[in-house]
């Protein structure tokens, strides 16, 4: 069997180093190698990027035996080359770090992340600067009334099986009877799939308090979950205006978030 790979886009910042640390921690359980990627705008920057990567790799500590950390430098655009490299390497995950920024910076990163996410079929994991932890024993999976939200099941099952995670399926309390029925059906379908896979799970209907994205993050913190996993889908022609996805990706609690592009679901390298 070909070894899994975890792809970490790296811009030579502290938060990218956090993503490397997170990836190495995951790689221990996933029997994966960690592949670092830096995208330059012109070939003239390649030598400098190579020197930076050599320094990063030489300074890595506590890399478990059998795990390789390699690097790649591409000249082009992050919005095409991250996806292309993930496909070339058959990456199981793309893991990216971000500052726990607020306001305009937060919105800009959320918009940037969505643009990368919609360019690839590989699950995309965002690790904030002050992330809550690397214990994946509990995963929060929010659903909505759309069929696309169910497409988080495959990658969540894969991770839960590897890390022996307990999955918490969340839905938002609905007043409309049709919407209430839809989210209940979706929760039931996902519960059945997790049960058949032998995964421990719970279901919860969240009362509306501060908005669904904030309520999801608060629930994750309350139960000690360190990963929120959801399928991204939007009817908007401009994904950067999807506030729910952006707010969840950059949640103020710092909980790492795994996002699957629902339009490309089913093509994972797990």
Residues 37-81 pLDDT 10s: 999 987 778 999 999 999 999 999 889 999 999 999 999 998 899
Residue 21's pLDDT band, with cuts at 50, 70 and 90, is very high
pLDDT per residue as tens digits for the range 68-115: 999 999 999 988 999 999 999 999 999 998 865 554 455 556 567 788
Residue 133 falls inside a structural domain: no
How far apart are the C-alpha atoms of 218 and 145, rounded to whole Å?
21
Structure-model confidence comparison of residues 177 and 133, the more confident one: 177
Residue 115 falls inside a structural domain: no
Residue 258's pLDDT band, with cuts at 50, 70 and 90, is very high
pLDDT value of position 242: 72
Same domain, 148 and 234: yes
Same domain, 49 and 152: no
Residue 131 falls inside a structural domain: no
pLDDT per residue as tens digits for the range 187-205: 999 999 999 999 999 999 9
- If 0-12 CB within 10 Å is exposed, 13-18 middle and 19+ buried, where does residue 205 land? middle
Residue 111 falls inside a structural domain: no
Same domain, 93 and 142: no
Same domain, 155 and 79: no
Residue 210 falls inside a structural domain: yes
Length of the chain (residues): 270
Residues 88, 6, 27, 152: what is their CA dihedral angle, to the nearest 10 degrees?
A: -110
Same domain, 157 and 79: no
Residue 125 falls inside a structural domain: no
Structure-model confidence comparison of residues 239 and 233, the more confident one: 233
Total domains in the chain come to 2
Residues of the domain holding 52: 4-98
pLDDT value of position 166: 98
Same domain, 234 and 153: yes
Among 98, 120, 149, the domain boundary falls at: 98
Residue 35's pLDDT band, with cuts at 50, 70 and 90, is very high
User: Is 50 exceeded by the pLDDT of residue 32?
Assistant: yes
Same domain, 185 and 75: no
- Contact in structure between 122 and 83 (CB atoms under 8 Å): yes
Claim: this prediction has a pTM higher than 0.75: yes
How far apart are the C-alpha atoms of 99 and 250, rounded to whole Å?
9
Q: Stretch 12-39: mean pLDDT, rounded?
A: 93
Same domain, 89 and 145: no
pLDDT value of position 104: 44
Q: Stretch 119-146: mean pLDDT, rounded?
A: 91
Residue 160 falls inside a structural domain: yes
Q: Stretch 219-225: mean pLDDT, rounded?
A: 97
Residue 248 falls inside a structural domain: yes
pLDDT value of position 217: 96
Secondary structure (H, E, C), the chain: CCCEEEEEECCCCHHHHHHHHHHHHHHHHHCEEEEEEEEECCHHHHHHHHHHHHHHHHCCCCCCCCCCEEEEEEECCHHHHHHHHHHHCCCCEEEEEECCCCHHHHHHHHHHHHHHHCCCCCCEEEEECCCCCCCCCEEEEECCCCHHHHHHHHHHHHHHHHHCCEEEEEEECCCCHHHHHHHHHHHHHHHHHHHHCCCCEEEEEECCCCCHHHHHHHHHHHHCCCCEEEEECCCCCCHHHCHHHHHHHCCCCCCCEEEEEHHHCCCCCC
CATH number at residue 237: 3.40.50.620
Considering the chain, what percentage of its residues have pLDDT values greater than 90? 68
Same domain, 144 and 92: no
> What's the mean pLDDT when you consider all of the chain?
88
């Amino acid at each position: 069997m070909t070894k899994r790979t975890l792809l970490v886009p790296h811009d030579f910042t502290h938060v990218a180093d956090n993503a490397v640390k997170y990836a190495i921690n995951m790689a221990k359980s996933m029997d994966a190698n960690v592949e670092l990627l830096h995208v330059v705008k012109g070939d003239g920057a390649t030598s400098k990027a190579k020197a930076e990567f050599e320094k990063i790799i030489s300074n890595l500590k506590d890399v478990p035996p059998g795990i390789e950390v390699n690097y790649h430098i591409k000249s082009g655009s992050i919005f095409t080359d991250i996806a292309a490299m993930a496909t070339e390497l058959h990456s199981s995950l793309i893991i990216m770090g971000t500052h726990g920024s607020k306001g305009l910076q937060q919105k800009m990163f959320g918009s940037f992340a969505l643009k990368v996410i919609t360019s690839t079929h590989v699950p995309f994991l965002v690790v904030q600067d002050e992330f809550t932890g690397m214990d994946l024993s509990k995963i929060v999976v929010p659903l909505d009334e759309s069929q696309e939200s169910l497409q988080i099941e495959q990658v969540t099952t894969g991770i839960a099986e590897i890390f022996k995670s307990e999955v918490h399926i969340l839905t938002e309390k609905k007043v409309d009877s049709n919407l209430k029925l839809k989210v209940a059906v979706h929760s039931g379908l996902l519960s059945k799939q997790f049960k058949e896979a032998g995964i421990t799970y719970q279901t919860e209907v969240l009362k509306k308090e501060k908005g669904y994205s904030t309520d999801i993050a608060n629930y994750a913190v309350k139960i000690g979950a360190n990963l929120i996993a959801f399928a991204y889908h939007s009817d908007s022609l401009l994904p950067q205006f999807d506030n729910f996805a952006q707010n969840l990706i950059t949640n103020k609690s710092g909980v790492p978030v795994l996002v699957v592009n629902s339009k490309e679901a089913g093509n994972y390298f797990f």
